[in-house]
């Protein structure tokens, strides 16, 4: 990671988390939101936990280089090839972060009932101490962080704004879990992209 602006760092131990609220200008972010909504092949996937099958509480999509195969929540994802809007955003993120990515997981939260459960992005495909860059569009949602160590009461919370960039690196995935809780508030649809690097 070439960005080490300590003023943008989230102050949580055993983590490297940077949050750039104004990564994209409002108009740019509006344009990306519309294009992503329309030009991504959104899917309603199912997930099986202890033999029971549920619909995922959000729409998802997976794009990337052909070799970037990834297992997530028990589902093996084969990437769709990059499209124009994704390549343009990938280049923006890579230039800013100073790292390269070969795939992206997209999530569309249709309303406040859509959510992402507690997890760490610590799958072996991502390697040790992965850098993950996350761009958000649309409705603001709370992004919560808690240590894997259940005895540790420390908590983190970031309001992920339209056009913002969140970067996680270092040992963040080793020590922390994160998630997007449901909300009873009226919230606009939200799109999130997490750029990752698999293999290598
Ligand atoms: C979301 N984000 O913002 C879900 N993971 O909708 C993530 O799960 C995430 O934002 C790793 C790094 C950054 C993230
Ligand atoms: Fe994640």
Domains of the chain: 6-196 (2.60.120.590)
Distance 134 CA to ligand 1 centre (A): 6
Q: Is 15 in the pocket of ligand 1 (CB under 6 A)?
A: no
Write the DSSP symbol of residue 113. T
Furthest C-alpha separation in the chain = 46
Ligand 1, closest atom to CA 178?
A: 8
- Cα torsion at 93, 96, 102, 103 (round to 10°)? -30
CA distance 31 to 29: 5
pLDDT the model gives residue 47: 84
pLDDT the model gives residue 2: 57
CA distance 56 to 44: 7
Q: Measuring CA to CA, which residue among 129, 125, 116, 118 is closest to residue 167?
A: 129
Q: Over the stretch 25-69, which tens digit does the pLDDT of each residue have?
A: 999 999 999 999 999 999 999 888 899 999 999 999 999 999 999
Q: Is 192 in the pocket of ligand 1 (CB under 6 A)?
A: yes
Q: Is 93 in the pocket of ligand 1 (CB under 6 A)?
A: no
Residue of 20, 194, 195, 198 to test ligand 1 pocket, by largest number of atoms within 8 Å of CB: 194
In the chain, the N- to C-terminal Cα span, in Å, equals: 16
- Cα torsion at 30, 35, 40, 43 (round to 10°)? 50
Q: Over the stretch 62-111, which tens digit does the pLDDT of each residue have?
A: 999 999 997 766 777 789 999 999 999 999 999 999 999 999 999 999 99
pLDDT of 113 strictly over 90: yes
Residue 98 has a CB neighbour count (10 Å cut-off) of: 11
Distance 120 CA to ligand 2 centre (A): 6
Ligand 1, closest atom to CA 107?
A: 6
pLDDT of 1 strictly over 80: no
Q: Over the stretch 137-188, which tens digit does the pLDDT of each residue have?
A: 999 999 999 999 999 999 999 999 999 999 999 999 999 999 999 999 999 9
Q: Is 172 in the pocket of ligand 1 (CB under 6 A)?
A: no
Tell me if residue 86 falls in helix, strand or coil. helix
Question: Crossing angle of helices 84-97/26-39, nearest 10°?
Answer: 140
Q: Measuring CA to CA, which residue among 3, 197, 2 is closest to residue 100?
A: 197
Tell me if residue 72 falls in helix, strand or coil. strand
pLDDT the model gives residue 48: 84
130-143 exposure pattern, b = at least 16 Cβ within 10 A, e = fewer = bbbbbbbbbbbbeb
Residue of 126, 188, 192 to test ligand 1 pocket, by largest number of atoms within 8 Å of CB: 192
Q: Is 60 in the pocket of ligand 1 (CB under 6 A)?
A: no
With beta carbons less than 8 A apart as the criterion, state whether 37 and 29 touch: no
């Amino acid at each position: 990671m070439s960005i080490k602006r300590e003023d943008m760092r989230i102050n949580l131990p055993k983590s490297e988390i940077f949050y750039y609220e104004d990564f994209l200008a409002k108009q740019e972010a509006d344009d990306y939101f519309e294009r992503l909504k329309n030009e991504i092949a959104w899917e309603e996937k199912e997930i099986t936990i202890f033999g029971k099958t549920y619909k995922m509480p959000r729409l998802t999509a997976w794009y990337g280089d052909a070799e970037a195969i990834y297992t997530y929540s028990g589902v093996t994802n084969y990437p769709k090839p990059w499209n124009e809007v994704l390549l343009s955003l990938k280049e923006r993120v890579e230039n800013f972060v100073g790292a390269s990515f070969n795939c992206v997981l997209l999530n569309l939260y249709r309303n406040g009932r859509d959510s992402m459960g507690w997890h760490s992005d610590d799958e072996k495909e991502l390697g040790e101490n992965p850098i993950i860059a996350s761009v958000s569009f649309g409705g603001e949602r709370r992004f919560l962080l808690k240590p894997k160590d259940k005895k540790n009461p420390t908590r983190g919370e970031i309001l992920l704004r339209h056009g913002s960039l969140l970067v996680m690196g270092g040992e963040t995935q080793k020590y922390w879990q994160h998630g997007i809780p449901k909300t009873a508030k009226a919230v606009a649809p939200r799109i999130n992209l997490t750029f990752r690097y698999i293999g290598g």
